[in-house]
Structure 1
Amino acid sequence: MTTPSPGRYELTLVVDGTTVAYGWWDQPSTAETKWSDWRRQHGRDGARVILVDTADGSVVRRWPQLTPRT
């Protein structure tokens, strides 16, 4: 028996350094909607919301945005 793939797009919510929620979706539009929902619901100091395309490991969206150091 094989385990089905969890989905291409992985969404992770980290609060104060602890992963408190995660999910996977195959459709990018669904993953983007969930990212926006989680950011709106949980966006505060100490929280991070990260959406990754597991096909290539790229970060699709993150909150808060990283600012480059000068």
Structure 2
Amino acid sequence: MDEPERFHLILTVDGRPLMHGWWDDRATADRKFRSWVGEYGSLGGAHIVLVDREEGEALASWPEES
């Protein structure tokens, strides 16, 4: 079973935090990530990251890091 609030989703604009959320279910967190990219990805300077707090790594990032 996943840990409560294991997956952290962060939206920053020009480096400033604008929104964040936590979920214990990976599928829900992935769905929220895609939703946020669709809703907020067009904001100038937007950066969206989904982090697995247990593993300490980014699972997804938009725009994709090169």
- Normalising by structure 1, we get a TM-score of 0.84
The equivalent residue for 1:55 is 54
Unaligned runs of 5+ in 1: none
After the TM superposition, which segments of 4 or more aligned residues of structure 1 sit over 2 Å from their partners? none
Structure 1 vs Structure 2: percent identity of aligned residues?
A: 38
- Aligned partners of 2:19, 2:29: CA distance in 1, in Å? 14
Structure number with greater Rg is 1
- Aligned partners of 2:30, 2:61: CA distance in 1, in Å? 11
| Secondary structure in structure 1 of the residue aligned to 2:5 | coil
Unaligned runs of 5+ in 2: none
**Number of corresponding residues:** 63
How much does 1:37 deviate? 0.5
Counterparts of 1:20-59 in structure 2, within 5 Å, are 20-44=18-42, 45-59=44-58
